[in-house]
Amino acid sequence: MNKQIPKQDCMPAATVRRVEELDRAIVRFAGDSGDGMQLTGDAFAKIIASGGYDFATRPDYPSEIRAPTGTLFGVSGYQIQFSSHEVFTSGDAPDVLVAMNPAALKTNLADVKRGGAIIVNSSAFTDGNLSKAGYQSNPLEDASLTDYRVYRVDISGLTVRALESLGLPPKEAGRCKNYYALGLVLCLYGRPLDAEEQRIRAKFAGKARIAEANVTALRAGYAYAEACEMFVTTYVVRPGNIKPGVYRSLTGNQAAALGFVTASELAGVPLFLGSYPITPATDILHELAALRHYNVKTFQAEDEIAGICSAIGAAYGGVLGVTSTSGPGMALKTEALGLTAMLELPLVIINVQRAGPSTGLPTKVEQSDLLQAVYGRNGECPVPVIAASSPADCFDCAIEAFRIATKYMTPVILLSDGGIGNAAEPWRIPDLADMAPFEIAFRTDPEGFLPYARDANLARAWVRPGTPGMEHRLGGLEKDFLTGDISHNPLNHQRMVEVRAAKVAGIAREIPPLAISGPREGDLLVVGWGGTYGPIVQACKQAEGAGKSVAHLHLRYLNPLPGDLEETLSRYRKVLVPELNLGQLSRLLRERFLRDVVVLSKVQGKSFTQAEIYDRIMELC
């Protein structure tokens, strides 16, 4: 970068402007926690969505609410990949990085594609900010960014100037700089502003001056980029080959909440959420708390234990009980989960996993609670476990979890993670007529009623208190096989332990045959579970493109495992299991099937990149 170039100049000076057509694009916004980057990214995603693209987003924010400004640990980012084709992840390397300060540049630069565009807020590159970010010299003035196309724009200053006529105090005007930056990026991709302007006006309905300021900043950013011919090349991504229909954007947490309410509506049974706030699961509580005009009750409990216990009480009362949490909260709920298994009441526990152990990395992704979910209780206490593979899949899994819970009278653990929980993707709104009916029968006939008598699925009857003539007691003490009375009989205990295990194992009977993408047999099968679906799909496609025989299997049902899994694994010479842990599914597969597998593990608080999985595939075949 050349020192002589005036600060406000945009680079490089354009001679001929051209429009290039792209297949896909990856954009990342990065700035201080207080710079509004999540909001900006979210707004950009909405604009992209309206354009008819497929997309995937990845918010990445620190666990501090607003860390000291300008620091490396205070950087918040939001990445989106959009395309005319199917999108499975938010992408590996951004084509465009918007860096609102030196810390944002420093923490994100390594990810940016070589030759990619970096738009920096040049006035934030002060000596103070440079030093907070640990820069010895200004990267805008030394040779460190020569591999990138750098656009230095005084976003802060230009925003304040654009808003001069509105008479806002400079500090308040400066807060609109994120919309100015958004305007710049919208110009780069030739996206229209009107829908976002409407959203801004709706959002700040009672605060006309703020609305006007944000709209003005948005327009000013766009106009600036256009007027000074900031970008030699602008891009167009053609809207894609997406299945026709009405779409909305959903994060995994929103999708799970919708799924729970949908289960309740389909079954005609009210929903009760007992929950304690915990990152990154809290949005499920927020979503459901706003849906009280449905048959939804939410209860912000005094702690994680009360969260699950209140849901158990509600389930005992005959409603769909659910509790939402993340790893540390899951640990606290363990005893109550065992109680639920003993009471044989339906309950759903959604664990939006985060990096552990202990408090770990609260806002970062990991899949390291699988063994906790499958095994983590005292006594012989099997609990069904399923995992969602994408934001939209959280919807289907939420319904499936309740379906299993009520059919088998058991708690069910639904594993999501902070990646898919907070990431958004387009979701095609399903046709109500296509949704499977969901029937729940409460027993009301006292004739011959025995609380622990079982049906063909080994499930006992669900009886609502208030039903005359069926008064009975449940409890955590071992119970008689039929009457449910306390029993310390040794053979009865063995029988009860075995029947609870058989009931959960029996769920495997109804797991659909495994769907494999790629060859039915061959060199390599990549087995994944949960939120790593996106990068695995893309890596497998890439390897296929390179002529490799590689198949992909993604598991939803983790306990019990599908009945045809062992035979499926046997059809491939090698099995690769990428996991965001040290090999937990791998351990389960080895243990259950005495089959060795290759582990690809990552525990960095980040999901896999496509390249990481692709490289391992190429090494194996």
Partner 1 sequence: MNEMSACQELTRKDFESNQDVRWCPGCGDYALLEQVKRLLPGLGIPRANFAFISGIGCSSRFPYYLETYGLHGIHGRAPAIASGLKLARPELSVWVVTGDGDSLAIGGNHFIHAMRRNIGLKIILLNNRIYGLTKGQCSPTSEFGKSTKSTPMGNIDRPFSPVSVALGAGAGFVARTIDNDLQHLRQTLKRAAEHPGTAFVEVRQNCVVFNDGANDPINDKDTRNDVRMLLEHGKPLRFGVDGNRGVRIRGFEPEIVTLGENGVTEADLAVHDETSAHGGLAFCLSQFAAPLPLPLGVFRAVEAMPYETLNAGLAEEARRKRGKGTLEQLLSGGHTWNVN
How far is residue 388 from each of residues 308, 518, 533, 566, measured CA to CA in Å? Answer: 21, 21, 9, 21
Give the Cα separation of 155 and 417 in Å (integer): 35
Identified binder of partner 1 from the candidate list 75, 258, 385, 551, rule CB under 8 A: 258
CB 402 within 8 A of CB 260: yes
Residue with tokens 């390179």: 546
- Residues 235-254, one symbol each (x = binds partner 1 by CB under 8 A, - = not), give ----x--xxxxxxxx-----
Name which position in 266, 370, 526, 551 contacts partner 1 (CB under 8 A): 266
Instruction: Please tell me the distance from the alpha carbon of residue 350 to that of residue 417, in angstroms, as a whole number.
Output: 10
492 binds partner 1 (CB under 8 A): no
Q: Which is nearer to partner 1, 205 or 456 (CB)?
A: 205
Out of 12, 34, 157, 270, the only residue in the binding site for partner 1 (CB under 8 A) is 270
Binding to partner 1 in span 284-303, by CB under 8 A: 291-294, 297, 299, 301-303
**Please, which residues have CB within 8 angstroms of residue 557's CB and are 6 or more apart in sequence?**
384, 385, 386, 507, 508, 511
Contact code string over 441-480 relative to partner 1, x by CB under 8 A:
-----------------------xxxxxxxxxxxxxx---
Q: Binding residues for partner 1, how many (CB under 8 A)?
A: 68
Answer yes or no whether residue 335 interacts with partner 1 by CB under 8 A: yes
The residue count for the chain: 621
* Spatial CB neighbours of 547, under 8 Å, sequence gap ≥ 6: none
Judged by phi (left if over 0) then psi (alpha if -120 to 50, else beta), residue 32 lies in: beta
- Minimum Å gap between C-beta 348 and partner 1 is 14
Segment 193-232, which members bind partner 1 (CB under 8 A)?
199
Minimum separation from the CB atom of position 490 to partner 1 (A): 19
**Residue from 311, 322, 527, 613 binding partner 1 (CB under 8 A):** 311
Q: Residues 8-47: x/- map of binding to partner 1 (CB under 8 A)?
A: --------------------------------------x-
Identity of the residue, 224 or 438, whose beta carbon is nearer to partner 1 in the bound complex: 438
Say if CB 490 and CB 483 are below 8 A apart.
no
Q: How buried is 447 (Cβ within 10 angstroms: 0-12 exposed, 13-18 middle, 19+ buried)?
A: exposed
- 417 vs 605: CA distance, rounded Å: 11
Based on CB atoms, which residue is closest to partner 1, 49 or 588?
49
User: Which 370-429 positions form the footprint of partner 1 (CB under 8 A)?
Assistant: 429
- State how far the Cα of 271 lies from the Cα of 315, in Å rounded to an integer: 9
Closer to partner 1 by Cβ: residue 62 or 321:
321
Cβ-contact 5, 11 below 8 angstroms: yes
Shortest distance, position 299 Cβ to partner 1, whole Å: 6
Residue 267 or 577 having the CB closest to partner 1:
267
Tell me whether strands 296-300 and 96-99 are parallel, antiparallel or unpaired. unpaired
Task: Tell me whether residue 84 or residue 607 sits nearer to partner 1 (CB atom).
Answer: 84
The rounded Cα 68 to chain-centroid distance in angstroms is: 27
Q: Among residues 190, 313, 519, 522, which is the contact residue for partner 1, using CB under 8 A?
A: 313
Alpha helices in 95-242 (DSSP H): 102-108, 127-132, 155-162, 170-174, 177-188, 194-203, 208-227
- Kindly state the smallest distance separating residue 294's Cβ from partner 1, in Å: 4
Give, as ranges, the residues between 44 and 73 that touch partner 1 (CB under 8 A). 46, 49-50, 52
Task: With beta carbons less than 8 A apart as the criterion, state whether 325 and 349 touch.
Answer: yes
Q: How far is the CB of 199 from partner 1 (least distance, A)?
A: 8
- Tell whether residue 482 is a contact of partner 1 (CB under 8 A): no
Beta-bridged to residue 150, according to DSSP, are 118
Residue ranges binding partner 1 (CB under 8 A): 46, 49-50, 52, 199, 239, 242-249, 258, 261-262, 265-266, 270, 272, 274, 291-294, 297, 299, 301-303, 305-306, 309-319, 321, 335-336, 339, 343, 429-430, 432, 464-477, 485-486
